[in-house]
Structure formats: structure tokens, C-alpha cells
Chain A
């Protein structure tokens, strides 16, 4: 009975056959997201703010609910059955994420609150040890504040210099300029896989290869990359990879830092407390092995389980199938938006994923956002936590539509219709 119960809670990792089942069935996918069936302001909800956070499929919501209703207990310490089940589910979630990332070992997967915490963890441990006065940390103009400010803070603390690799007018990284900025004092390169503001897809493997050729380790911000095409961390060559669960159909408050075993083992712990220790005496604490060394305190168990369910859900549809669907949506969006008078696309990168940023005439994006909302269309208006990039283009803000697995071509058409309505308000 116990074994059966455990088995139920921790199904073996297996690829689902659905990805091979034929055409992409967006209607069926939408049906799995309870929130999408509602109306807002009397209009069908058109949710195009997925780069901020995605909606959650029923399987994720149910996994979190089931954990609290049936298995809730603390992990890694109880001798009782509930704790055993909770620990099993938590560890199983880690294994699922490791598989999703192509990690060599689940021990390389550290659960954190999100991408922001993952970057801060690396900055405050790996970065702090590695960066000294006169050294340099290289980031790019595409970075979200979460992959910018932690490095700025570290450089300020250490008397080091933060350097920023440029982007072209189209929104692509200037790879040769970036390479030229990798110097003898460069201690680390932090770069995003996909720009949350422009949708630019960076050639991560090539960037890593160029950095490694100069002996520079690379942290990749996968907050947008993980849900839009995913990653094989080993093939990418990266040293660290950070992601947020809530941007890939999982719960808020949970994310992942993946790091190469040799780095994680050499790094000092970040926060001290329970679970990160092997033994504590008045004289000395012996730290736990990885990944527990970086998971002080009771973790977000339900969040991790939800994230495990989310990567399982992605796997059941197929990350490639989702990416192909999203590419078709974005192609349609770019073509349709170009037909809107006075509309200016911000960023026309060689390869795009997830988002399209734009301006309409001199209508402020905040006003566009309000008007679109009244037409049921949810987009983001603002600087997208990428102020250095906005400044690069001489802008304070853009309007941004971002897609996910469940969006439809009809929803892109609804966006375009609402943009025409906004132009009428400001005519």
C-alpha cells in the first residue's frame, strides 16, 4: 500500500506520446488552462503578457493542491510517511527539472525563488570570490535588471568595472564587439538567452565558446529562453543557467539555478541555516553536499512540485512543438502589426522568440495598455525592467505582446483590432 502510494506520487519520468500525436491542438491545450475561459470587461480574455508570467495548466494547479491535501510535511528530516512522500516528490521534481535542462546530475539543480535569486546567488558566491579591484564583469545591453543590477552591486562592492556589450539597431548582440570586450580582467560574462524586451534570441553556444576561449565563465539568464525553446545546458557549454518557474507554466516563488558540479562544489554557501549543513558544533559547521548546500531553510516544496509538474506538462506537449507554434504566432503578429498605420516595431532581431515590442504613433504605451485591456487584451506597457536597453533606443517605454503555448492566431487578430480602436481614441 505504501509503495503503491509512493508510486502514485512519483511516476517514473517518461516521455509522453502526445508530442508525436499529430497536429498541434491549441484548442485542447487552452482547455487545460482554467483561467483562459473567462471574460474581462465583457470580452473574451486575450492573455498576451506571458513574458511577465504564464498561466498555469490544471496539472500544475492540481499537483500543488494534491501536495497540500495529501502529502504536506517537511522534507529531508521526518521519519514518518508524509515526510517520506513529500521528500520523494520534492526530489522527483528536481530530477524532472534536471532532465528538462539536460543536466548531467540532479545535484546540479538548485531550487531558488526565481531567476533574480539565482543570479544573486552566483554573484554573491562565485562572483564575490572571483572578482576583485580592477577586474571586469561583462553583461549586455539586452539584460533584464535581474541580470544587471546584481553585477553592478558586486562591481561596486569590489571596485570592479561593469562593462556592457552593445546591441545593433535591430536588437541583435554585436558578437564581435562582445568578443572584443572579453579582456584579461574579465572575470565573468552574464548574458540572456532571449531578450524579454525585444525577443532577440542570442546564439548562446557561440557566445559561450568565444568567452571560454578567453577563459571567461558564462552565466546564462534563461528566464525567457527556458519556456521558448528550452536549453540543453551541457550542449550550450554554459557554466550557470537561471530560470523562473512562473514564466514556464509553473508557480510563482520557485526557480532554478543550474551550475556545473565543479563550480557548485567549489562555491561557498550563500545563506546559512537548516538543511545546508552536515554537522554544526560551536566551533565549526560542515556544509552539506550540493545542491543542499545552497538550500538553507525549508524550501518552497509545493512550488518545486508545481514546477516539476510544469516541466512534465511542457514535455507532454513537446518544447519543440510549443516553440514552432509560438514562431508561427510571432510571424503572424509581426506581419499583422506592420499593417497598423504608424506602428513601429522596436527590435527586428534575426531570430525572435516570445515577444514583440512596438509603439503606435505618439500614443504612450501605458495608454495603449489601458485601452487594450478594455478590449480584453492583456499586454505589458513599460520599460520591461530593461531600462539600459530602453535608453539605448531613446525610449522610456514600449508596448509588448508576448505569446505562449495556448495563444491563437485569432488572439493576435484581436490585438490588432484593439490597436485600431486605440488609434481612434487618440485620432
Chain B
């Protein structure tokens, strides 16, 4: 049986409590809203793109520890990545949170995102971990609102 500490790893708790890159982004070129109707989570992700390159990403809003930590780690991870790289990382991240670390193989590509390796044991929390990613990708595609439903 999985332990609660697999889900709530120290790094996750820390980012949930003191999220990085939290707040508005001056000079944002792309923004989108993300809603999780199930639990009322509501975040906005801002990004400043230089051509195809994510120069800066920040987020605002409210959510549970998992969704805030995910947004916090994500906004740090995607800086300096191209839109195509963001999609690739998300693909691996999504496999991590739905199927677990064993399904991913090479965890190096994920870097710090590997701390979400316990989420797959908690199917009801997958949406919390993915919300920020769906929102960022919507922002890069041109904005709007995404929901996890």
C-alpha cells in the first residue's frame, strides 16, 4: 500500500506552501485560465514567449497543495524551453502521474517534476497535478479557459 508521504513529499509540501513564480507576470504575451470544477480550483497561468521560446512563466489563483506545487514546479521547469519541448515534457509528466515512475523509464527528462511520482496512486488527484499543464499549453496555443472535466 502506498503511503501518504509518497504523495505529499517534502518538496511537494514546500512548493504547495510557498509556491515559486506566484503572481502576475509583467509583459506576459500569453495567458489562460484553468478550472477544476470538481474541487473549485481556479488558476491563471501567464507566459512571456519570445518566438517559440518560453522566457518566463508565472501563475496565480487558488488550489490544493498538489495543484499549487505542480504549477510552482512547472513554471520553473519550462523557462527556456520551446513550446514543442513543453509538450514533450508534459507527455512524460502525464505518464508519470497516471501510470507511475515505472512507466516512464528515464526520469532525468523530468528533473524536479519527478517528485509527483506518488500521484498515480491517487487517481482522484491526477487532475490536480495536471491542471497547471493544461492551462499553460492552452495559453501557448492562444489562451482561453480549460477545465479538467
A residues adjacent to B (C-beta < 8 A): 41-42, 363-367, 370-371, 374, 381-383, 387, 390, 396-397, 425-426
The 7 closest A-B pairs by CB, nearest first: A396-B40, A364-B64, A366-B64, A383-B40, A397-B40, A366-B39, A382-B39
- Choose the segment among B45-53, B108-116, B121-129 that binds chain A (4+ C-beta atoms closer than 8 Å): B121-129
Question: For chains A and B in complex, what number of residue pairs have CB atoms within 8 angstroms?
Answer: 48
Residue on A with the closest CB to B124? A370
B residues adjacent to A (C-beta < 8 A): 1, 4, 7-8, 13, 17, 38-42, 62-66, 122, 124-125, 128
Contact between chains at A382 and B124 (CB < 8 Å): no
Residue on B with the closest CB to A362? B17
Contact between chains at B66 and A367 (CB < 8 Å): yes
Question: Which one of B42, B65, B66, B128 has the greatest number of beta carbons of chain A within 10 Å?
Answer: B65
* Chain B residues touching A, majority SS: mixed
Contact between chains at A426 and B13 (CB < 8 Å): yes
A374-B6 Cα distance, complex, nearest whole Å: 12
CB distance from B124 to the nearest CB of A (A): 7
A397-B35 Cα distance, complex, nearest whole Å: 13
A364-B8 Cα distance, complex, nearest whole Å: 13
Contact between chains at B128 and A366 (CB < 8 Å): yes
A371-B62 Cα distance, complex, nearest whole Å: 19
Contact between chains at B8 and A425 (CB < 8 Å): yes
Question: Which one of A42, A366, A382, A397 has the greatest number of beta carbons of chain B within 10 Å?
Answer: A366
A152-B60 Cα distance, complex, nearest whole Å: 30
Contact between chains at A41 and B1 (CB < 8 Å): yes
Contact between chains at A367 and B40 (CB < 8 Å): no
Given A41-B1, A396-B62: A365 touches B13 (CB 8 Å cut-off): no
Chain B residues contacting A426 (CB-CB under 8 Å) are 13, 17, 65
Contact between chains at A383 and B13 (CB < 8 Å): no
Residue on A with the closest CB to B42? A396
A355-B101 Cα distance, complex, nearest whole Å: 39
CB distance from A397 to the nearest CB of B (A): 4
Residue on B with the closest CB to A387? B40
Chain B residues contacting A364 (CB-CB under 8 Å) are 39, 63-65
